[in-house]
Amino acid sequence: MTRTLRLALAYDGTDLFGWQTQPARPTVQGLLMHSCERVLGEPVKVVGASRTDAGVHALRQVASLATASPMAPAVLGRALNALLPAAIRVLDCREAAPGFDARRWARGKRYGYLIDRGDAADPFLRRYAWHAPYALEAETMARALRLLRGKHDFSAFCAAPGRGRPPTCTVRSARLVLRKGRLGILLSADSFLHHMVRNLVGSLVEIGRGAREPGWLGALLAARDRRLAGPTAPPRGLTLVRVLYPT
């Protein structure tokens, strides 16, 4: 009998080529599938809730797979951690409802983006933060962030607008956290477009350093033109914090 398993994963994406399997390149999905097949002794398809890009991290990614193996989920989790590189850890492995699909059942995601504002880049943050040594006005950025809340067309912040899925997303929460020279941007939405968070952060930094007014973000949403928005922030500062499912 086939069972569906649900895995919670954390990973440092610095040396990985994103989530999705690529030929001859280390990816989270590829390494996880290979390890699962070695442990379970059968071909396995692993589905991830978020297809994170190269260099992007995760605190709690969710994956699902179907298996005919009777192996206990906890045993599988320990076996996978023994095979996977240290940059990828299985935090939890448990049996899920029949047909559970980590991507299709998700109802939202939370992302965080970390900016190091110090004059000199913190060497301990170099893998996990964008060093932007500008005199960023946090309150100005926070005012701009509030414009994102609600349902909007985010074409201006999509890497490839007009392709694939509709560009409308509902942002449930958008806030800024300031701690000792570090600036965190936290976003929660029902869905995210390709590069959406990184493109938003790039525009927010333009606002924070005084190159643009906070209202510019609203104008970009209305214009729906990626060419008018700011630069794309580097992937190293971006982390998938959590995937949200129906309770």
User: What residue type is 22 in one-letter code?
Assistant: Q
**R_g of the chain, CA atoms, integer Å:** 19
- Asked which of 74, 95, 116 is the last residue of a domain, the reply is 95
Give the CA-trace dihedral at 59, 241, 165, 212, to 10 degrees: -130
Verify whether residue 53 is a known catalytic residue: yes
- Asked which of 95, 127, 157 is the last residue of a domain, the reply is 95
User: What band does 162 get if pLDDT is binned at 50, 70 and 90?
Assistant: low
31 by Cβ neighbours in 10 Å (0-12 / 13-18 / 19+) ranks as buried
User: What band does 95 get if pLDDT is binned at 50, 70 and 90?
Assistant: very high
Same domain, 112 and 51: no
- Asked which of 62, 95, 128 is the last residue of a domain, the reply is 95
* Angle (nearest 5°) at CA 165 between 103 and 52: 45
Report d(CA 39, CA 34) in Å as an integer: 9
Same domain, 87 and 167: no
Contacts of 164 (CB under 8 A, 6+ apart): none
* % of the chain residues with pLDDT over 90: 92
- pTM, entire model: 0.95
Active-site entry in 12, 15, 53, 116: 53
> Residue 61's closest CA among 21, 92, 15?
92
Count of domains forming the chain: 2
Supply the range of the domain harboring residue 50.
Answer: 3-95
pLDDT exceeds 70 at position 164: no
Report the pLDDT value the prediction gives residue 163, as an integer from 0 to 100. 59
CATH number of the domain that residue 37 is part of: 3.30.70.580
